[in-house]
Amino acid sequence: MAPRADELLAQAQGLVPLASHRGEQGLLLAKAQGCRVYDADNVGLVDLTAGGGSCLLGYANQYVLDAIRKATTLGLASGFASAMEVEVAEALAEFLPTYRPFVLTSSETEAFELALRFCRRHTGRLRLVIFDGNRTGAVEALQVVPGGPVGLSLPKIAGLLPDLMRTVRVVPWGNAEALARVLDEVGVDTAAVVLDPIASNFGVIPPDPHFLTRVRELSRAVGALLVLDETLTGFRLDRGGANQVFRLEADLLVLGGALGGG
């Protein structure tokens, strides 16, 4: 790294350890424009990940900036519902005509928490089934890794409640047979199966359409809701996301960063 970037990383180690950790793994960025990101020494790099997928129009897109400036002149603040929420929902209804109502949140994590809470309330069940290799964001209930026999989970990070971890089973992504075995065991207690249609934690792995179809069939067979993680695939694979491309007919969609646009 260059001098200023090294200095910032050293400061971060004592002040913001998580930022320091991310900086050691990648970069501590100072600004971004179009397809490029810049560190504190103004060294520019082309970001082929598009902000992890959320910046569909590039960084600091002029149309987006103009819309933000216009919105700030209206003086709208958190604490109140906004008329623009209805406009966003109307636009969403055009892309996703079979999905309503919509819940707009301030973060992807909040969206997931609400979705999982809805599944538990709707089904009267507690257990979740997720796939190894799928994104988990910062959702506490999903911070688990496979442990021991297929389906059993262990905490991925320290500080998680053991009782919470016991309600989550982890299945290898792409393995419909493993999912069937786990649901045979815990299906009657499963509120939701959470699926990222394209594995993205170890590269970008296209799915076998048969696997996705089986996930839907197995979930419905035991009365569990299918929650589709469209935070990366929403509006990208198609106007209707992966749900439309693969004809999944999921019960809930979480759009997160794909809707926020970075």
- 14 versus 250: the higher-pLDDT residue is 250
Give tens-digit pLDDT for 42-77.
989 999 877 776 777 889 989 888 988 888 888 876
Rounded CA separation 99/120 (Å):
19
Domain edges within the chain: 3-72, 83-260
Q: What is the structure's pLDDT at 261?
A: 57
Helices (H), 125-260: 162-165, 176-186, 209-221, 241-245, 257-260
Q: Indicate if the pLDDT at residue 106 is higher than 70.
A: yes
Architecture of domain 83-260: 3-Layer(aba) Sandwich (3.40)
3-state secondary structure of 68: helix
Q: Give 192's strand partners.
A: 128, 225
3-state secondary structure of 186: helix
Q: How much is the pTM?
A: 0.82
